[in-house]
Amino acid sequence: MGNTDSNTVSEGIRIQAAAQFLPAESDPDRGRFIFVYRIRVTNQSDRTAQLMGRHWVIIDGNGRREDVRGEGVVGKQPILSPGETFEYTSYCPLRTEWGTMEGSFSFLDELGEPFEATVGRFYLAMSAENVILS
């Protein structure tokens, strides 16, 4: 992971995030920049936890903020025992050639107690080393 990525631990949950630009899916002339991001969630606590929802704060290069909330991630609400990891990839469209994402995942522990884990800020950028060629 490079310096545009994030690696945050809160409430015993480590969340790593990295994004790459998808030129084949993007149309810069029309202000459409598509990024794929990879998330890795590792339960480093001593309790089982279920990922229930997400809250993303997406800010584009013009400072335009979008809040995205939803149940689970990629249609799943994975249960992570201590030491287990869940990984997924998803997409984010932007109107500018760079931006940032950050937010939080909401969890329930094995006793049904809710808690939030932070997703640290990571960058969506059209840099040369950050491109997926198809």
CATH number at residue 85: 2.60.40.1470
Q: Is residue 133 part of a domain?
A: no
Q: Is residue 25 part of a domain?
A: yes
The whole-chain average pLDDT of the chain stands at 94
Asked if pLDDT for residue 101 goes beyond 70, the answer is yes
Task: Please give the pLDDT value at position 98.
Answer: 94
Q: How many domains does the chain have?
A: 1
Place of tokens 């997409």: 91
Q: 35 to each of 25, 108, 113, 132, how far by Cα in Å?
A: 9, 29, 34, 9
Q: Is residue 19 part of a domain?
A: yes
Q: Is residue 61 part of a domain?
A: yes
pLDDT digits 0-9 by tens, 12-69: 999 999 999 999 999 999 999 999 999 999 999 999 999 999 999 999 999 999 999 9
Find the domain containing 87 and state its range. Answer: 6-125
Q: Is residue 82 part of a domain?
A: yes
Place of tokens 């490079």: 2
Task: Identify the sign of the CA torsion 8, 23, 86, 50.
Answer: positive
State both tokens at 122.
């990571």
Q: How confident is the model at residue 89 (pLDDT cuts 50, 70, 90)?
A: very high
Q: 59 to each of 64, 73, 105, 114, how far by Cα in Å?
A: 5, 20, 18, 27
